[in-house]
Chain A
């Protein structure tokens, strides 16, 4: 009790410093939670992929479900030698994984991770509840290509360079239709705030209201995440490991985890924008976390769908990817925008 009163005293005396300290603690907690959650995603992917491919997946470390496998992998990555190639642009090479991870945290700061009901009031779990959070998240997602390009450019490796080029070409082609889809959602929700976009879906999900937008956004999202069938930046059968070919040890670990962080955050974004977020009938008895239950169920379905797509499709060629982005998805996303405006006006 004394500690609590001391803290409130301090907060009253030095509100600015207190806010900074609170922000740092919040960022640390957020980063840890996101990374642990990403580890869970990696584990889920390896298990689900194993099941879909008629094999076991991890089943040694941590019991028959291989739960500790990721911990073992992380320890391995931390203890490996950190190699910087002779011809590399050293400072860029060193900073690239950090920039990539920081990008994830930028996205994570503005995304609501569900909501809880306290005293009949719905409280969204979000660090920075900005008015333009949807636009901000979209913009921060596209920064992902910067980290990858830094990594590819600085490695002084031909495969890395090709991977980096492909990443940028792909990002430019897909950021535009993706942005148009976000705007279409905002038009229907009359807001760019992610919490309000979720609240606007209480009666009908936007995936139902604008199915075309949902499909386009999902495709663009997979592209942005660089997952099969859009993983040309690291197509191992063509360019070894693409932009992270030269990385090893914890730097590689950071780049690798960044992808899974993004996969998690991207899936959350899809749930928030199109699948109604945490909306769902209130479950009695545990009503205060019922939004969380709905939210996580939707999230799990999206994640498994992403993994399922990964194990069943053939990789596109890079020219086919950019063709699809510019010639198909962009016009269709504009069609969807017109539809969203028309329907939005009619129901408004």
Chain B
């Protein structure tokens, strides 16, 4: 198996002079600063010769003190080796531009668009540099720059100008006041690009076609996002996705909080996966601080996170079945009952059912309560029996199979190209699981199987989830047997969290896939940059190509089988 040092030496010999600084820390993570003009070549070399075929994301950091922007490209491999390459490109703040990787990695698109609209870094060669999260009137403000002065007050209803378009739509616009223009909060120049509606209308070719809005308020959306489909009759020709309706700016908020204050905010990324989000953030900060949680704390983390995975998969499957019109909520109501018992187990440890804020730097908040083992084993026994029953039910239901089989098929290569992770990727015959492929906590000591399916259709994705519930039950049982006694907090945790300057990236396997946190520190008590790389963001990006050519009714079968969570996309 390739190590990070092998990759580094290969890089240095292949591109002498292009790699400026490089280090391997911790093992399996290769950090390198690459000359801006060579980044595409370096990435192409890594992709083609060292099987870095998974683009994990990109982070833009504003180093205002040095007058630089840094863009870190994060590359990994779908199981060929465990090295994560984090390639940093620096560009000047007054004229920021970086070469785009969209030609190499299809899914670099959204990550680069986000950095462009938030930081104003121009990506040369990007095919569609349109805003993704920001509304059109805010583009050009570059809100994530450190010298950002704040938006003009676009929320004042009295200033709104109502206009009815010839098509009958009502449009509102709020012009900035002169005081705001004088204060410099309104950008003088705005980028030019076709708006979302203009792009949609450009795609209409024949008079029989129409745009159908599914969202931002619609029964299929788990949170507000806009899925517009261009339909000809019942067939979809093209799908358009617009996100950002509930963008909360969590990453910016965390830059303005101390490290500890960031933990409860990570809960709000996705209410279904609060514990894994805690884990990803705390793990990244632990790497910055150079501490490690004691063994018992790590086991408690695994137990709670696996229980969290079980409840998330149960609810995800239940929601999905409701979406395909399954029997007017019946499966939803039954699965919710099963989920209650699991939530009760989690609550007894963390004290909360949804937003836990349970994981701490160097440990966990609470120890397991008395009687936890028996209660959990009972709940797991019930969950396992019920899950087997559901699986059998799905297998035997021919109408369910008719709706699900061969729908939204992601072939192995397509799934890898689109950059999805978690159950959708594993349903496409790719055994890629952070618990095994980028091991964290004590997962390497535990015995578990990475569930895969060959078909890659909607049904396979649901079955992967159901099988993972059973696998997680098995993992929790192992942990409950093996858990040692001991402290639940590391002793060398500093009173005041002030990590040394540097960066850390930590990935965990969320219920939905690869959840990564990138934290950059400058030695103060607040992070310079926090980046949450969520799995659902990647699914959403992959959704429009998947929807082309299917029936309207299949939208729910495909989108639902992805198990999405909008609040994590609109961080």
List chain A positions with a Cβ less than 8 A from chain B. 49, 52-55, 86-87, 158-159, 162, 228-229, 231-232, 235-240, 310-320
Contacts and interface: CB of A to CB of B under 8 A. Distances in A.
Contact of B210 (A49, A158, A237, A320): A158
B327 interface: yes
Contacts of A238: 220, 325, 552-553, 555-556
A315 B168 contact: no
B198 interface: no
B218 interface: yes
Contacts, number: 84
Contacts of B213: 158
B397 A314 contact: yes
A87 B327 CA distance: 34
A26 B521 CA distance: 84
Interface centre among B234, B329, B333, B337 (most CB of A within 10 A): B234
Given A54-B334, A235-B553, A310 B234 contact: no
Given A55-B333, A237-B219, A238-B553, A313 B168 contact: no
A232 B213 CA distance: 18
A20 to B, nearest CB: 45
B234 A240 contact: no
B188 to A, nearest CB: 39
Contact of B326 (A87, A315, A318): A315
Contacts of A49: 328
B269 interface: no
B400 interface: yes
10 contacts: A54-B337, A159-B212, A229-B325, A229-B399, A231-B325, A237-B220, A240-B218, A314-B399, A315-B325, A318-B551
Interface string B208-221: 00101100001110
Contacts of B330: 52-53, 311-312
B403 interface: yes
Contacts of B324: 237, 314-315
B551 A313 contact: no
B402 interface: yes
A314 B234 contact: no
B468 interface: no
A318 B219 contact: no
B554 interface: yes
Nearest to A320: B402
A159 B212 CA distance: 8
Given A316-B399, A316-B403, A228 B553 contact: no
Interface string B445-475: 0000000000000000000000000000000
A317 B327 contact: no
A239 B327 contact: no
A228 B328 contact: yes
B210 A318 contact: no
A228 B399 CA distance: 12
B551 A317 contact: yes
B553 A86 contact: no
B402 to A, nearest CB: 6
Nearest to B332: A53
A319 B328 CA distance: 21
B239 interface: no
A174 to B, nearest CB: 17
A228 B334 contact: no
Nearest to A321: B553
A158 B551 contact: no
Most buried by A among B210, B218, B327: B327
Contact of A310 (B210, B327, B402, B556): B327
B552 A313 contact: no
A121 to B, nearest CB: 45
Of all A-B residue pairs in the complex, the 7 with the closest CB atoms, nearest first, are A315-B325, A317-B553, A314-B326, A53-B333, A237-B219, A311-B330, A314-B400
B310 interface: no
Given A314-B399, A317-B403, A237 B328 contact: no
A162 B402 CA distance: 22
Most chain A CB inside 10 Å of its own CB: which residue of B234, B322, B328, B397: B328
Nearest to B394: A314
Contacts of B168: 86-87
Nearest to A52: B330
Contacts of A314: 321, 324-327, 397, 399-400, 403
A311 B334 CA distance: 12
Interface in B538-565: 551-556
B134 interface: no
Nearest to B557: A317
Interface string B328-366: 111001100100000000000000000000000000000
B325 A228 contact: yes
Interface in B398-429: 399-400, 402-403
Contacts of A158: 210, 212-213
A240 B217 CA distance: 10
